[in-house]
A and B are shown apart, each in its own frame.
Chain A
Amino acid sequence: MVEFDIKPIRVTNEELIENRFSNILKGNHACAGCGGTLAMRIISKAFGRNVIYVIPASCSSVRQGFIPKSAMACPVFNTAFASAAAVASGIAAALKYQGRDDVVPVVRAGDGGTVDIGLATLSGAAERQTNMIYVCYDNEEYGNTGYQRSGATPPGARTTTTPIKGKREFKKPVPVLMADHGVPYVATASIGYVPDMYKKAYRARRQIKNGFRYIHVHFTCPPGRGTDPRDCVGLAKLAVDTGLRPLYEVINGKRYLNGISKKQYLEPDKYMKPVEEYLKYQRRYRGYTEEDVELLNRYRDRYRDLIKRHVKYTNPELEEI
């Protein structure tokens, strides 16, 4: 049985900064301004030390740096692209066999490793209700191999494999799909809303005591987006504020929209910023057309409908950010 102990979590920016524990150290090999490193740092603060990381091929494998050095302050197994959730399943089984129930395996995969090549593996581990936490670091591209289109690339974006017209299809709604697996915890998060991201990681690790937990983190990859590294956080925030990346949690099947995303849901005209505001800062949307905007709006509406169908519960205490 999955144990719950859901309470509101309060954390201030100062507290987050003061908590020095992080399992990704300085001197790691990420690009300047990589939102993924920020996400890793904040999330690892919430997870604490008793975790074993499984990292499939992705920028996360490179950020660690070269042997004999490592920028990771926690046990890590680097694995093949499609295998992460299965390796974590094996670790979970071994921990259970050993009776080490204080330790939990955590997958730290990219969007390609999650929504494309690793999707069957992820789904298998969720269906088996494996005791693990899976975090998808979504930069909306195959970052490590040079910014190609992935199933998580949003419509309209130019990538190195959709270089001229941009992607014409929608982004795969994997968090919704994961929630439909009936797992105890699913959340979307963004580096644009750091305390919210921290709380979700904290909830996944400390309040949901076992079972399969999934967090989908949206972040900015400056070279992939074609943006200035210093815009990294602001841009991620705009993705939420334009309604393209809604923030929500699904706790034991009950869905809650968080913060601005909830306001957008209740009063879209008032709180939803036009998507153009997000596009104009990114080279991947350079020279975007009316058609691109229309496509993105349709995508946004469809995603909202998808979530709407599921949001039936409210708990004011949990919704605030």
Chain B
Amino acid sequence: MTEYKVLSGSDAVARGVRLSRVGVIAAYPITPQTHIIERLAERIEAGEYNAQFIPVESEHSAMSAVIGASLTGVRAFTATASQGLLYMIEMLYRAAGARAPLVLALANRTLGPPRNIRAERTDLMATRDTGFLIFFAKNNQEALDMVIQAYKVAENRDVLMPALVSLEGFILTHTYAGVKIPDQEIVDEFLPPYKPPVYLDPKRPLTMGNPMPPNMHHEYRIDFHKRLLNAKELIKKAAKEREKLTGRFTGDLIETYMLEDADVVLVSMGTIAEEMEVAVDKLREDGIKAGSLRVRVFRPFPEEEIRELLAGRKHVFVFTRSLSPGSVGNGGQLAMEIKASLYELGDDEKPKIHDVLVGLGGKDVPYSDLVKIVKGVI
């Protein structure tokens, strides 16, 4: 029997972690992530959940500890936000280099100064090139489901790379919504116990990460790219497998709404995508053939899918909640990736791309703003 609960985004992530039977959790507090780890620590202390919790002294150590646990053969989890993410970033590269399929939940938050704890995705963008799989949730339900899916894909032997599940701080972490909690048996069937091909074991001594000559290292790096690209099909496959188990299809690389006949396409990630769907309805009421496309997985980037779906459209509005100062266009990283994906299209097929920065510093992004922006241009 599927259980329904009203949960905050943080609770939903914590549920996802427990359902995934994670064995080691290491974490350090930072708003707006803290409820995730508090919830887990509480369940462990209460004896309801069998896992080891390490209250580390920094985020750098949180990532270090989960790498250690994962390489010892135990499913591991940590969560952070903003400054905490930047403090641990050295170890994100190491997690990927060590091929530790752990999961990191990121509650997006602005980077200071000035001090501000609200949602912005500039923190996430710092992880773009680390080698992590990057999932971005649009609501609490997805946050829960994504954690489980992230382990499933990350632990696949054709991938074996760490994964990040991003959800916007406060907008999701601190907001309560109805969530279907999958049965443990169903999750267990979907996500079998973690069995890495190699792990730290005195019976089979193995040196990990000693010096490597440049020619070999070149190949090793390129292999990361291949592994993340391998994840594309596996993500889709995992979504189908889940559908069989739960009757719901969730978890593709992208999600579309009213896209088929749309001339005008709104593109974004996370909660803004939910606003986009309402904006599409409003625009359609006013006779504008609008549709929307949500990037659900940012790494691997769904390049071919996006190219196929956006070819021949008139306008594409990319709403980005993060900024790369001094880069191309208006500086939205999502728009850059979309532009790059469409480069190979012929001139007659190329839509006009509008690089729109929204919601920086956690500024609210209501659908009405999106409607206004679109109407102001076309």
Contact = CB atoms under 8 A, between A and B. Distances in A.
Interface of A: 23, 49-52, 54, 61-62, 64-68, 70, 72-80, 82-91, 93-98, 103, 105, 120-121, 123-124, 127-128
A91 B58 contact: no
B73 A66 contact: no
B60 A93 contact: no
B206 A90 contact: no
B68 A89 contact: yes
B57 interface: yes
Contacts of B65: 86-87, 89-90, 93
Interface residues of B, number: 43
B24 A93 contact: yes
Given A64-B211, A65-B211, A78-B208, A90 B66 contact: yes
B55 interface: yes
Nearest to B217: A67
Interface stretch (B145-153, B157-165, B197-205): B197-205
A60 to B, nearest CB: 10
A120 B98 contact: no
Contacts of B206: 75-76
B354 to A, nearest CB: 41
A212 B210 CA distance: 26
A46 to B, nearest CB: 15
Interface centre among B66, B69, B73 (most CB of A within 10 A): B69
Given A93-B65, A124-B61, 12 more contacts: A62-B211, A70-B210, A73-B205, A75-B200, A75-B201, A77-B200, A87-B68, A90-B24, A91-B71, A98-B74, A120-B57, A121-B60
B196 to A, nearest CB: 11
Given A121-B60, A124-B57, A95 B72 contact: yes
Contact of A70 (B54, B202, B207): B207
Interface string B94-131: 10001000000000000000000000000000000000
Contact of A93 (B26, B94, B202, B204): B26
A134 B333 CA distance: 43
Given A67-B210, A70-B210, A75-B206, A90 B58 contact: no
B202 A49 contact: yes
A97 B209 CA distance: 24
Given A87-B68, A91-B71, A66 B210 contact: yes
Contacts of B212: 66-67
A262 to B, nearest CB: 35
B181 interface: no
A64 B209 CA distance: 10
A28 to B, nearest CB: 11
A311 to B, nearest CB: 30
B12 interface: no
Given A49-B202, A74-B202, A77-B68, A128 B208 contact: no
Contacts of B371: none
B67 to A, nearest CB: 6
A80 B54 contact: no
Contact of A97 (B74, B200, B202): B74
Contacts of B56: 86, 89, 124
Contact of A89 (B61, B91, B201, B202): B61
B88 to A, nearest CB: 10
A91 B74 CA distance: 9
Nearest to A84: B64
Nearest to B65: A90
A79 B71 CA distance: 12
B19 interface: no
A216 to B, nearest CB: 21
A76 B52 CA distance: 22
A86 B206 CA distance: 20
B207 A76 contact: yes
A280 B56 CA distance: 45
Nearest to A121: B61
B331 to A, nearest CB: 30
B74 A105 contact: no
Contacts of A50: 202
Given A77-B200, A103-B202, A61 B210 contact: yes
B213 interface: yes
Contacts of A90: 24, 26, 54, 64-70, 72, 76
Given A83-B64, A86-B56, A128-B54, A94 B210 contact: no
